[in-house]
A = this chain, B = another copy of it.
Amino acid sequence: MNEQTRLSWTDVRDEIRARILSRAYAPGDKLPRDEDIAQELGCARSTVHRAMQDLSQIGLVERKRKGGTHVRADPVTRATFDIPITRREVEQRGSIYSCQLISRTVEQTPLPIMARFGITHPAEMLRVKALHLADNRPYIFEDRWIDVGSMPEILDVDFSLESANEWLVHNKPYSRLDVRFSAMNAEGESARYLDTPTGSALFVIERTTWIGAEPITTVQAVAAPGYQLVAQN
């Protein structure tokens, strides 16, 4: 007559989710207190808590300290994307990776770049343009700004050996990140380097990183036509 095994938090999560899917708990409804659910299902409160943590993460429920747990009335679609180093991305597709350094200059940051970093005074930064290739065909064109002040050693790195992308990822972890996706028409450099007609629709990833409040790097990566980003899960 006893339960065969103890309940795991995934069991609890699945049960609660099932109730939400079946509208036993309808959108906007308040769920019972964790403790009551625990008692009903026969597990510890922390197990329910762990389950709720997951459902809350996914965006299915909303929890507040005294307000209790509610089924979200306007659920959002929440998706997580992993953006690997370009080398890995190419290699995992089974292609040969290579990279061309296009230019390497030191410039004062123009206004749009200052805006990305959220700084109010211009700074001298290293600007590196590079083209990533898969099987010798253009894959991603990147235009990157790197703060020199916080890492003077960057000036000695030979980016023809290791791309700026890789060097930074291996040598400069960040503590804050901003990522944006958009679309743009190929023109000028992007069209030329990606070897695509002017006007092609290109997928753009813009990434900016900081350590604390200190700028590290910002990059606009423009992918060749056909690029698609798929969510994990």
Contact = CB atoms under 8 A, between A and B. Distances in A.
A182 B201 CA distance: 9
A202 interface: yes
A173 B228 contact: no
A207 interface: yes
Interface stretch (A1-9, A76-84, A131-139): A76-84
Contacts of A79: 80-81, 83, 177, 179
Interface residues on A, range: 35 or more
B80 A80 contact: yes
A20 B172 CA distance: 10
A225 B85 CA distance: 28
Given A183-B183, A228-B181, A207 B88 contact: no
Interface of A: 17, 20-21, 27, 59-60, 73-85, 88, 169-170, 173, 175, 177-185, 199-204, 207, 211, 225-231, 233
